[in-house]
Structure 1
Amino acid sequence: MSETTSYPGSVASDASAAPLLGALVVLYQPTRQHLAHLIKLRGHGVPLLVVDNSPAESAAIIEALEAQDIEYLWNANRGGIAGAYNRGLTRLFERGCCAVALFDQDSQVSADYFRVMLESCAALGPRAFAIGPRIYDENLGRFLPQIYSNGFWIRTVMCEARTSLQPCSFLLSSGCVISYRAYQCLGAFAEALFIDHVDTEYSLRALLRGVQFYVEPRLTLSHRIGEKRQHRLGPIRLTSMNHPAFRRYYMARNGMHLCIQYIPSLPIAFVPNLVTLLQVFQILLFESGKLAKLFGIGCGMVDGLFGRLGPLEAVRPRLAARLARG
């Protein structure tokens, strides 16, 4: 694979040259399997930066990664997943990358992922964009729908393999490539959200600021969202997510906050609250730990309404302690 480096904000002199693509992986208390995956990822030949959100820095992990020429940055979960993205993107863009692929420690990419993404970045040139693969939900055994929206209505984007880039409006952060121009235009990820709906907020921000997102139909990323389980209620088939109670808090809080923040301009910002309502029914019907999860949702909606954001331990230390005890 040949690459021509094009520095951030500039256009390569050769119009056919692909911009340099870097990769950012966020870790949290990784296992040996995760480290082995990082070494395999490094084999694709792109600059790789690891941002570790684990509570403590690990000398063993640093030594293992440095032996493979993998750069390591300890973030200590500052700003949650959004903080890890921001620290990593800033570092890679400063080093000359014109686009960066985001991954979590469980992401598995195909052998042609970086080749295809480089081609797509080159085709889009110096404009602001983000590109994501099709997401295959391993829990449900099917592809997640791709959504296009103008802020008022939504429609499903039909994606067939081997077709060209398709405009869309929402991307999962895992497997997504963000251009330097897009990061310049959109700014940093919202660290106050900490976790959950971080990529939803970024997608809504892109809608407001006219930054186009795309799905790359030639690529697939397998992903697990929660511990999804299928249930039958008579003729109706329903899904339960089975997220722990503290995640329910963040989902409800951040969904409510996005609604308050964006609904005057983008009515579809109400959708995360519909998801919260659906999760209440899932918990009541199918999930264990109902009281803790419902209490977490209630507290989250109140905090989201009044803009009390940040890590749960700082916003509601008693609730954090209670949920930690199960």
Structure 2
Amino acid sequence: MRIVAVVVTYNPDVALLAEVLQSVGPQVQGIVVVDNGSGNANEIRGIVRATAAHVIANKHNFGIAAAQNQGLAFARAEGYSHILLLDQDTTSAPGVVGDLSRNLQALEIEHGAVAAIGPAYYELNSKRQTRAYRAKGLRISRVSLRGRSQPMESDFIIASGSLISLAIMEIVGGFKEELFIDLVDVEWCFRARAAGYRCFLSPTAAVDHRLGSGTVGIGSRRIAVHVPIRNYYWIRNALWLARQPCTAPAWKLYFISRSLAFLATYTTVADKPALRLQLMCRGIWDSFSGNLGCFKRGRA
């Protein structure tokens, strides 16, 4: 197994990015950083040179899906067998890639080809560990990974930290660039599942990850808060995904209900509520109008 880490950056905290690269470097056979037109691109290049990684420097932000596909093309051209996707703020504990690769090989022996395997990441803002998600009928079960030692199937896994073989990518296809950001990984996992390939989480693989820039409390729950434009992308893509044949009925209901919850929540407890409402309404319109891709002001 020859693995290249594909790290997508956009205006990253360069000190944290250095930690990300240093933590994964000894565990993989190569690193490629795909930068989406960051304002601190020169600093990024300096960090990349110090870690002997390769850099693909985009002049503009083409979105995370396009950047991941660029990393995938690099992996093919350089003869790698697997890609490890990483966000700019995901640090890997020692041995996590070995854990993922061993479990992936064992799962392939047991189940045949597997779509992807990801770690049981710890979300630093909400201070919660990820869970496995499984749809059955019109219900979605959330299964804790605490105390477990064997990989668990999940309808989707987040991209950051996921290990995927290039052979599976050839069958399922790359990431859908029209979504730009938000739910890109979910759409790919649903598409893989529809093709007969399952995703798994390894409870014994540990990474730290950050969702959003912070959290706000809603009763006993805490939800991630992103910059307002991310509300646009999430609602637009969620309502688009709810209409796709690869999406299970329970997830269709989830995306619709969650979009309504977004409208109620982010216009009452988050900053810039008027702007968020405007962007979410625009996201609804663009989803049903088929206006995907990068957000463009004034587009009808």
Query: TM (normalized to structure 2)?
Result: 0.88
Q: Distance in 2 between matches of 1:290 and 1:254?
A: 20
Corresponding residue to 1:224 among 199, 210, 215: 210
Q: Distance in 2 between matches of 1:239 and 1:67?
A: 38
Q: Distance in 2 between matches of 1:151 and 1:193?
A: 27
Unpaired stretches in structure 1, ≥5 consecutive residues: 1-18, 320-326
Q: Which residue of 2 aligns with 1:33?
A: 15
Q: Distance in 1 between matches of 2:137 and 2:7?
A: 31
**What are the equivalent positions in structure 2 for 1:269-308 lying under 5 Å apart?**
269-308=252-291
Change (3 A) 1:317 1:74: farther
Aligned-pair CA distance for 1:49: 0.9
Aligned-pair CA distance for 1:311: 0.4
Residue 193 (1) aligns with residue 179 (2) = yes
Q: Number of paired residues?
A: 295
Q: Distance in 1 between matches of 2:241 and 2:264?
A: 21
What are the Cα deviations for residues 53-74 of structure 1, in whole angstroms up to 9, with x where unaligned? 1246845543542343211111
Q: Which amino acid aligns with 1:143?
A: Q
Q: Distance in 2 between matches of 1:305 and 1:45?
A: 42
Change (3 A) 1:263 1:217: closer
Q: Which amino acid aligns with 1:299?
A: R
> Which secondary structure state, in structure 1, belongs to the residue aligned with residue 266 of structure 2?
helix
**What are the equivalent positions in structure 2 for 1:4-153 lying under 5 Å apart?**
19-37=1-19, 38-55=21-38, 58-59=41-42, 61-77=44-60, 79-125=62-108, 127-149=113-135, 153=139
| % identical aligned pairs | 27
Contact 1:135 1:220 in 2 (8 A): yes
Change (3 A) 1:127 1:318: closer
What are the Cα deviations for residues 171-208 of structure 1, in whole angstroms up to 9, with x where unaligned? 01111111112211210101001011111211221221
Q: Distance in 1 between matches of 2:298 and 2:267?
A: 26
Single out whichever of 51-60 and 108-117 deviates more from structure 2: 51-60
What are the Cα deviations for residues 211-259 of structure 1, in whole angstroms up to 9, with x where unaligned? 1101111112222222212244xxxx24343322211111111111111
> Which secondary structure state, in structure 2, belongs to the residue aligned with residue 219 of structure 1?
coil
Change (3 A) 1:306 1:146: same
Q: Which residue of 2 aligns with 1:183?
A: 169
Change (3 A) 1:150 1:76: farther
Change (3 A) 1:69 1:284: closer
Q: Distance in 1 between matches of 2:247 and 2:50?
A: 51
Unpaired stretches in structure 2, ≥5 consecutive residues: none
Say what the alpha-carbon RMSD is for the aligned residues.
Answer: 2.5
Contact 1:139 1:229 in 2 (8 A): no
Corresponding residue to 2:190 among 193, 204, 223: 204
Single out whichever of 45-54 and 116-125 deviates more from structure 2: 116-125
Q: Which residue of 2 aligns with 1:10?
A: none
Q: Distance in 2 between matches of 1:318 and 1:140?
A: 35
> Which secondary structure state, in structure 2, belongs to the residue aligned with residue 118 of structure 1?
helix
Q: Distance in 1 between matches of 2:3 and 2:41?
A: 27
Q: Which amino acid aligns with 1:229?
A: V
Q: Distance in 1 between matches of 2:154 and 2:274?
A: 37
Q: Distance in 2 between matches of 1:278 and 1:306?
A: 22
Q: Distance in 2 between matches of 1:264 and 1:132?
A: 20
Contact 1:134 1:219 in 2 (8 A): yes
Q: Distance in 1 between matches of 2:251 and 2:197?
A: 17
Q: Distance in 2 between matches of 1:214 and 1:117?
A: 10
Q: Distance in 2 between matches of 1:243 and 1:78?
A: 17
Change (3 A) 1:45 1:207: closer
> Which secondary structure state, in structure 2, belongs to the residue aligned with residue 285 of structure 1?
coil
Q: Distance in 1 between matches of 2:50 and 2:125?
A: 35
Contact 2:11 2:40 in 1 (8 A): no
Larger radius of gyration: 1
Q: Which residue of 2 aligns with 1:11?
A: none
> Which secondary structure state, in structure 2, belongs to the residue aligned with residue 312 of structure 1?
coil
Query: TM (normalized to structure 1)?
Result: 0.82
Contact 2:14 2:44 in 1 (8 A): no
Q: Distance in 1 between matches of 2:113 and 2:262?
A: 38
Q: Which residue of 2 aligns with 1:163?
A: 149
